[in-house]
């Protein structure tokens, strides 16, 4: 009995080590490359589904969209109804699967909340360890497009719609713009080869762009080193949103509450500096670094 018990323990350890190793061996996949075999065979945890686990072995012939999200991402939640509508519209031709690296307990608590109950039809991977290493990214929402067993593209959520899906399904040249997210801790658009320069120090840098940069999220954050703030960055925000953020900081320093009602816009065409307000002072700490 003792020997049998010991062999059982050794077998269990071997299985756990083998499973861990298979995840560790996953390398990131580039656009145009074939997916590794374990992408299709590995079983993963899911929520909002009759079974607690799934794999993609039966979906090889479908267009697959992996929709990376987290419970705190308002843009991700806003896109869920659209994703569910597209799933219903395209049926068995398309597999749309939400993916989160937050564990099952966190997701189940969210879907049980008043806000989360609206999305109880969303089947989501929980505690993901398979897809994140294969498709590394810096922010969500982030959508991975897979067709014919290969990585077709990586995009933001805005590019997922009826038109682009139809184009991809029929093999036409789609209007998808591949998004490879930028490391926002570095100066924007500065070549990484600069980091290899010796005896060189970046003393000043400025970058001003008009129009959205899809490889960056919406928001503002601080650049800090050892408790010292040496810069602040705003990306994909309108001028009015930038003014709101700065005014909020200034009023806070004075011990006062800032409200957008205290702003008077006197420019000739106010619509040129205003669009849908994605920035909220309540989310300020989330965007700080």
Domain hosting residue 249, numbered range: 192-287
Q: Which of 44-58, 76-90, 199-213, 269-283 has the lowest mean pLDDT?
A: 269-283
On whether residue 231 sits in a domain, the answer given is yes
Q: Residue 19: what pLDDT?
A: 43
CA nearest neighbour of 159 among 83, 61, 62: 83
Residues 153, 42 share a domain: yes
Same domain, 47 and 165: yes
* Number of structural domains in the chain: 2
Same domain, 157 and 70: yes
- Rounded to an integer, the average pLDDT of 198-208 is 83
The mean pLDDT value for 91-120 works out to 97
Q: Are residues 109 and 202 in the same domain?
A: no
User: Has residue 241 been placed in a domain?
Assistant: yes
User: Mean pLDDT across the chain, nearest whole number?
Assistant: 85
Phi, psi (rounded to 5 degrees) for 16: -65, -45
**Backbone conformation region of residue 142, classed left if phi is above 0, alpha if psi is from -120 to 50, else beta:** beta
Nearest alpha carbon to residue 231 among 269, 159, 288, 182 = 288
Please report the pLDDT score of residue 1 as a whole number. 53
Q: Are strands 53-54 and 142-147 parallel, antiparallel or unpaired?
A: unpaired
Q: Extract the tokens encoding 197.
A: 């320069």
Residue ranges of the alpha helices (H) in 144-264?
162-169, 239-253
Please enumerate in sequence order all residues whose Cβ is within 8 A of that of 197, keeping only pairs 6 or more positions apart, or say none: none
* Exposure on the CB side of residue 73, measured as CA atoms within 13 A: 23
């Amino acid at each position: 009995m003792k020997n049998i018990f010991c062999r059982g323990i050794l077998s269990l350890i071997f299985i756990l080590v083998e499973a861990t190793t298979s995840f560790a061996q996953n390398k990131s996949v580039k656009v145009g490359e074939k997916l590794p075999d374990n992408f299709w065979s590995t079983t993963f945890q899911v929520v909002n589904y009759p079974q607690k686990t799934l794999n993609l072995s039966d979906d090889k012939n479908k267009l697959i969209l992996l929709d990376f999200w987290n419970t705190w991402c308002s843009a991700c939640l806003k896109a869920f109804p659209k994703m569910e509508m597209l799933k219903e519209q395209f049926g068995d031709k398309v597999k749309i699967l939400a993916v989160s690296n937050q564990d099952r307990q966190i997701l189940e608590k969210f879907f049980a909340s008043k806000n989360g109950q609206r999305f109880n039809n969303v089947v989501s991977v929980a505690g993901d360890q398979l897809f994140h290493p294969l498709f590394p990214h810096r922010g969500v929402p982030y959508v991975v497009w897979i067709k014919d067993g290969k990585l077709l593209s990586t995009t933001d959520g805005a590019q997922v719609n009826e038109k682009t899906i139809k184009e991809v399904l029929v093999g036409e040249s789609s209007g998808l713009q591949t998004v490879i997210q930028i490391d926002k801790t570095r100066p924007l658009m500065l070549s990484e080869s600069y980091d290899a320069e010796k005896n060189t120090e970046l003393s000043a840098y400025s970058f001003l762009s008009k129009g959205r940069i899809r490889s960056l999220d919406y928001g503002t954050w601080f650049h800090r080193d050892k408790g010292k703030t040496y810069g602040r960055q705003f990306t994909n925000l309108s001028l009015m949103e930038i003014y709101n953020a700065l005014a909020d900081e200034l009023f806070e320093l004075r011990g006062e509450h800032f409200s957008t009602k205290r702003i008077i816009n006197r420019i000739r065409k106010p619509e040129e500096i205003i669009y849908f307000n994605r920035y909220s002072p309540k989310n300020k700490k989330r965007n700080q670094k």
